[in-house]
Amino acid sequence: TMKSIARRADLKAYVEHNPQLYQLLRRAAARYVTGDDRRDGLEAAASLTAQGYDVSLEYIGENTATEAECEAAVRELSGLIAELAGNRRKARVSFDLSHIGLSLHTDLALRNLLQLAEQAEPAGIELFISMEESAKTDRVLDVYERSVARYPSSIGITLQAQLHRTAADLAQRLPGNSLVRIVKGAYQESEQSALPRSEQLNRRYLELVEHAILQGHRVSIATHDQQIIDTILTRGWLSEGAAEFEMLYGIRTELSRKLKAAGHPVRIYLTYGSEWYLYICHRIAEHPPNLYRAVIDMASG
**Quick check: 184 binds ligand FDA (CB under 6 A)?**
yes
**Quick check: 137 binds ligand FDA (CB under 6 A)?**
no
Contact by Cβ (8 Å): 163, 185:
yes
Using CB atoms within 10 A of its CB, is residue 198 exposed (0-12), middle (13-18) or buried (19+)?
exposed
179-183 vs 92-95, strand pairing mode: unpaired
Q: Which is nearer to ligand FDA, 15 or 222 (CB)?
A: 222
Q: Which of 15, 179, 222, 266 binds ligand FDA (CB under 6 A)?
A: 222
Please state the closest distance from residue 186 (CB atom) to ligand FDA, in A. Answer: 4
Residue 121 CB contacts under 8 Å (≥ 6 apart), including other chains: 151, 153, 154
Q: How far, in Å, CA of 209 to CA of 238, rounded?
A: 11
**Quick check: 167 binds ligand FDA (CB under 6 A)?**
no
Q: How far, in Å, CA of 158 to CA of 94, rounded?
A: 10
Q: Which is nearer to ligand FDA, 66 or 226 (CB)?
A: 226
Flag whether 184 is marked binding.
Answer: yes
Q: How many residues does the chain have?
A: 301
**Quick check: 252 binds ligand FDA (CB under 6 A)?**
yes
Contact by Cβ (8 Å): 132, 160:
no
Q: Which stretch binds ligand FDA (CB under 6 A): 2-10, 67-75, 166-174, 246-254?
A: 246-254
Taking alpha carbons only, the member of 105, 109, 185 closest to residue 145 is 109
Other CB atoms within a 10 A radius of the CB of residue 200 amount to 10
Q: Which stretch binds ligand FDA (CB under 6 A): 1-9, 74-82, 136-144, 178-186?
A: 178-186
**Quick check: 223 binds ligand FDA (CB under 6 A)?**
yes
**Quick check: 63 binds ligand FDA (CB under 6 A)?**
no
Kindly write down the DSSP assignment for every residue of 96-137, as one continuous string.
Answer: -GGGTTTTT-HHHHHHHHHHHHHHHGGGT-EEEE----GGGH
| Window 114-133: residues binding ligand FDA (CB under 6 A) | 130-131
Q: Which stretch binds ligand FDA (CB under 6 A): 6-14, 38-46, 84-92, 245-253?
A: 245-253
Flag whether 12 is marked binding.
Answer: no
Q: Which of 187, 249, 276, 277 binds ligand FDA (CB under 6 A)?
A: 187
Q: Which residues are annotated as a binding site?
A: 131, 160, 184-186, 223-224
Q: Which residues bind ligand FDA (CB under 6 A)?
A: 130-131, 158, 160, 181, 183-187, 197, 222-225, 246-248, 251-252, 269, 283, 286-287, 290
Binding residues for FAD: 131, 160, 184-186, 223-224
